[in-house]
Copies of this chain bind each other. A is one copy, B any other.
Amino acid sequence: MTTREPIDLSIAVHPEMLHWGRRPTYEMVEEIGPTNPSEVSRWLIGAHTGTHVDAPSHFITGGTTVDRIPITHTVGPARVLDLTHVAKEITADDLVAAGAAGATRLLFKTRNSTDALTRNVRSETWVGLGPSGARWLADNGATLAGLDYMTMEAPDHTVEWPTHVILCGAGVVILENADLALVDPGDYELVCLPVPFEGREAAPAPAVLLPLAA
């Protein structure tokens, strides 16, 4: 086989990163020195730290937990949609116009990639997925929806969280903080691998895109 150059979508995890809720921290358990051969660190991280997925149980009592997501939900052919023109929230019409039909794993490249995520700047006007877009994905067999910001929800909806409720209710895995800044829209193979936090609602989930095999 020919080697396929992977495109890394994961953002670095560190105490000064853009975060929702409490910031990630770490402590040094061991450091290399005269009496100790190795470094060992320990981390206190929210399950929603960095590039991560929300499982259905994030919003749905009894929903699938992050360790039980079928691996084919997050690994397989995926489409990166160009939504860089969207001003505020992605609608069902935006998805269709961008060519979403036929894809089941969809990544939304928006102006967040250059406005906020890669500059590690909190935005009050990020682009999210609106409820009509979430409904369209649920109705069209999506298994994964990914965005280039730390929440999929649009700024106007972070009280009721309708997009999360719709996606989690339909079993659509939500990938957040996917760095799409250097990714051209188009079709790839996605490999997104959640850390299997047993029984819980989310986990860091590093992700890469691989060019499709010829």
Contact = CB atoms under 8 A, between A and B. Distances in A.
Contacts of A13: 67, 195-198
A102 interface: no
A61 interface: yes
A165 B39 CA distance: 12
Number of copies: 2
Contacts of A201: 38-41
A43 B24 CA distance: 10
Given A40-B201, A43-B47, A72-B6, A21 B12 contact: no
A71 interface: yes
B59 A40 contact: no
Given A37-B160, A50-B195, A22 B42 contact: yes
Given A1-B212, A1-B213, A189-B1, A46 B50 contact: no
Interface residues of A, number: 62
A109 interface: no
A57 B13 CA distance: 17
Minimum-distance CB pairs A-B, first 10: A193-B206, A14-B198, A213-B213, A39-B201, A12-B198, A191-B191, A12-B196, A195-B204, A41-B47, A41-B200
A155 interface: no
Nearest to A165: B37
Contacts of A194: 206
Interface in A1-30: 1, 3, 5-6, 8, 10-14, 21-22, 26, 29
A198 B191 CA distance: 21
Given A39-B58, A43-B45, A208 B195 contact: no
